[in-house]
C-alpha cells in the first residue's frame, strides 16, 4: 500500500479529482498555499495498492498540465529603482510524493 500525495494548482483541482474518481480512486483534498505567487494550491492524498501508483500518477499528470501566465510587476520581485515589465511564469503541473504505508484502516 502506498500513500500518493500530490500538490497541484487550485485551477486544476476539479479536473484532477474528477479524473481520479472516474477511475475508481478516492482522494482527500486539503487546501494549501505556497510557491512563488503564494497562490492557492490543493494537496490531494490517496491510498492505493502498489501496482496502481503509476495509474494514479498518470491521471494526475493528465489533468494538471503546466502552462505560462503573465503576472504584473510587484515590489516583491522588482529590483529597486527599476520599473519592471510583467513577467511570464510557469504555473500548473504537479509535485507528487509516494510514501510507503505500513497499515491502512478505513473505519
When mean pLDDT is compared over 11-20, 27-36, 76-85, the highest value belongs to: 11-20
* 32-47 per-position pLDDT tens digit: 876 655 667 899 999 9
Contacts of 20 by beta carbon, 8 Å cutoff, 6+ apart: 26, 27, 44, 46, 56, 59, 60
DSSP 102: S
d(CA 33, CA 80): 27
Task: Indicate the pLDDT class of residue 68, thresholds 50, 70 and 90.
Answer: confident
Dump pLDDT digits (tens) for 71-93.
Answer: 776 645 555 555 567 777 677 78
pLDDT at 67: 75
Residue 31 pLDDT grade (very low, low, confident, very high; cuts 50, 70, 90) = confident
Q: Please return the burial class of 42, using the count of CB atoms within 10 Å of its CB with bins 0-12, 13-18 and 19+.
A: buried
Q: Which grid coordinates are listed for 64? A: 494538471
Amino acid at each position: 500500500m502506498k500513500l500518493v500525495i500530490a500538490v497541484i494548482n487550485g485551477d486544476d483541482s476539479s479536473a484532477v479529482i474528477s479524473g481520479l474518481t472516474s477511475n475508481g480512486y478516492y482522494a482527500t483534498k486539503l487546501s494549501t498555499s505556497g510557491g512563488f505567487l503564494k497562490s492557492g494550491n490543493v494537496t490531494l492524498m490517496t491510498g492505493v495498492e502498489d501496482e496502481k501508483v503509476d495509474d494514479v500518477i498518470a491521471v494526475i499528470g493528465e489533468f494538471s498540465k503546466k502552462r505560462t501566465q503573465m503576472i504584473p510587476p510587484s515590489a516583491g520581485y522588482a529590483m529597486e529603482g527599476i520599473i519592471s515589465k510583467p513577467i511570464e511564469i510557469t504555473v500548473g503541473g504537479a509535485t507528487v510524493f509516494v510514501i510507503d504505508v505500513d497499515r491502512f484502516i478505513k473505519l
